[in-house]
Structure 1
Amino acid sequence: MQLNIFFNPAELTLVEAPARDIYIVIDAMRATTTLTVMCDAGAKQILIAQTIEQALSAAQSIPGRLLCGESHTQTPPGFDYGNSPALFANLDLMGRDLILTTSNGTRAFFACPEHSTRLAGCFYNAEAVTAYALRIAREQQRNISIVCAAEYGYFALEDATCAGYLALTMQQRSPELQLHDNAHAAITLYEAYPFPKLIEYAQSARDLIAIGQQRDLDFCLQKDGSDSVPTVIKREQETGLLLLQRA
């Protein structure tokens, strides 16, 4: 059983990404944290879109779904909500269907092989998502890959350090897990940028502070606060969106 880390979704196009791997997608600030909180708040299912246009079209074709997301940290016109985990934590989403599109995180899910197992990971659900991934990997004799969403195509320090935290957690749970060089590098980054040092150096953290979203930042940096594991179930035929439910 092996663990590999991609620091940018674009790296998946440079190799023959194994279709049978379990992929943990990380956009720590904020998309995968938001997905986790949405599940905690009782969402029936969450559909993720690659673009704002795709999300708007899907919302029009199937009315009644809450349209959520952001573009460059801002809530697009016509959307019900943005991409704030702190906000969704205070909403009752029981039985609701939501659509989410973000600048980086939701796109990373689409970069993974079509029929692979895709999970949303973050600091907030680290224990839960790593335990779930390891269990499936053992049962089905598969390997695990972590995919960092990155920041508009560039390396994102918070995603890499979160990948390191997940890698370290899995290594401690399963000493037999074989780590690629990139997993060792991610662990080193996690150890080199502890909180609050990460806040000082991560551009996404500074951006959230600049727009007054300190509460979101606090949520995104909280470790192991949730046992929800948002999991891609299928691609919705009518809209082309990926459908996620709590595992």
Structure 2
Amino acid sequence: MTDHKNFYVIIEAKRGWILPGEEQLNRYSLRESITKAEVKHKAIISMSECSNGYASINLRPTIANGIPIKHLSWRKIYDLANKSKEQSNNAQKRLLEELLIYLGGVMTMQTKDSNWVYVVSLGSGNPEGCSISWIDIVNKCGRYFHPVGGKGWPKEPPNYIAFRYDGKLQSIHHIEDYVVSKNMHDEIKEMPDEEWDNHFVYKLGPAIKPPKEVKTGNIYPSGRVWAMIDTLFTSETISDARDISKERKELKKQH
């Protein structure tokens, strides 16, 4: 909370893709400290990982008891802080570096230098209410989506994702970008226009094809596994790649 002769701002900061609810925002707007503040500008600011576009649709209300409600994403604050370093003195740069380190810890970010690949199975059918198949969503639309966390799904976007069907590894893709959305139709027009829970929607890079046939191996039909990218190029099966990657990880822990 910041008090200045020209501004009075209440900040509600949250981790992850979460927005404050209407009841909470209304409670803030009725606080005596803000209603009686004799300043020119008043606002309630939501801060979280939600993009400004996502917040513009899902943050309600936009005005509570005459007080405007705005949103700033952690990404936006991170970018502003990073850009500000160019015109800052040494003391300011140190403070900005500390802020950037903190923000890096609260943001959901891809681990850019990770060589781990998230391998998922694609069914031959269509998602419910969708006019194209799971395979076409990947191969023709260059997209893939899944829930944010829960039931074994990642809570943070991976650097690489791979797809298997017809009993073998088909392709590996770098995840070029991602959004979190409750309506898949906003990102993939063939999907039904309806609201779900939060989902990651990935924009896939060009397909990297394995140099030889890599069969599925000992993985149950809908199983999802992690493997290091080089093991997927050199192993006979995806399950072998998974096991080799696990062994490497354990050896690294021991050293």
Q: TM-score range by the shorter chain?
A: under 0.3
Q: Which has the higher contact order (CA 8 A, sep 6+)?
A: 1
* Structure holding more helix per residue: 1
Q: Could you tell me the TM-score, scaled by structure 2's length?
A: 0.23
* Structure holding more strand per residue: 2
Q: Could you tell me the TM-score, scaled by structure 1's length?
A: 0.23
